[in-house]
Chain A
């Protein structure tokens, strides 16, 4: 093989390498775009929070329902599971005072979710999210203010 032929072979190899790099880049961008995950855990938590504060846990009297006034008698696992149950989606609800002392808590978690929520970052295909809001709560004919904390574990497909 003479010097020119070797040069041509090197030149063609260079073209091939550049072409492959550009083609792979385009393909990777396209595949990533097509298979992009739609993360909805935060939105689901927001909807759950609205549902709990506006209807399921809201204190009700003769004047009607009082959104953001949490009736502590309603904060039970039975009411939570009747209120919002979704396959692969578990949650816990805590009512805390301003010193972060838990007044009452309940959850809608199965056995696996209960274990996984503690180590959520290491559990594959699961997403966790915590949300804390200010609420009033009604207990023993007394209204107090505090926080409602919702912890969510969600199976991401």
Chain B
């Protein structure tokens, strides 16, 4: 193989590598984004808390329930049963609602990484 042929072959390999690198970078970027899906986790946490509240209010018995929070997510609930969940690494909070029940008296006590719900 002469010099020209060798340079041409190396050029082709570089072009190939560039394209392969692009695909690998996109794949790694996508998998990083999926693994660190804070928004999704925050949405799930808000919904989970909302359903726990609804399930407790649907019970006809007395209930004491400890909801274990994700330590990176803070949860707040207002009197209209609107739940606000915020991940420490994200700017905007996620909102979700639970069913407002005027007939049952549910008390919420925030402890460290736990929420005590009593009916």
Which of A's residues lie within 8 Å of B, judged by CB?
Answer: 12, 15-16, 18-19, 22-23, 26-27, 29-30, 33-34, 36, 38, 40, 43-44, 47-48, 50-51, 54-56, 58, 65, 67, 82-89
Interface of B is mostly: helix
Q: Does A12 lie within 8 Å of B15, measured CB to CB? A: yes
Please tell me if B47 contacts chain A, counting CB pairs below 8 Å. yes
Please tell me if B84 contacts chain A, counting CB pairs below 8 Å. no
- Interface footprint category on B: 20 to 34
Please tell me if B33 contacts chain A, counting CB pairs below 8 Å. yes
| Contact status of A33 and B22, CB under 8 A, knowing A38-B43, A55-B60 | no
Q: Does A16 lie within 8 Å of B19, measured CB to CB? A: yes
Q: Does B60 lie within 8 Å of A86, measured CB to CB? A: no
Residues of chain B from 22 to 78 with CB closer than 8 A to chain A in the complex: 22-23, 26-27, 30-31, 33-34, 37, 39-40, 43-44, 47, 51, 54-55, 57-60
**Which residue from B16, B34, B43, B60 sits with its C-beta under 8 Å from A58?**
B60
User: What is the chain A residue whose CB lies nearest that of B44?
Assistant: A38
Q: Name 19 interchain pairs, CB-CB below 8 A, sorted by A.
A: A15-B16, A16-B19, A22-B23, A23-B26, A26-B27, A30-B31, A30-B33, A34-B34, A40-B47, A44-B54, A47-B51, A47-B99, A51-B57, A51-B101, A55-B60, A55-B104, A58-B60, A84-B101, A86-B100
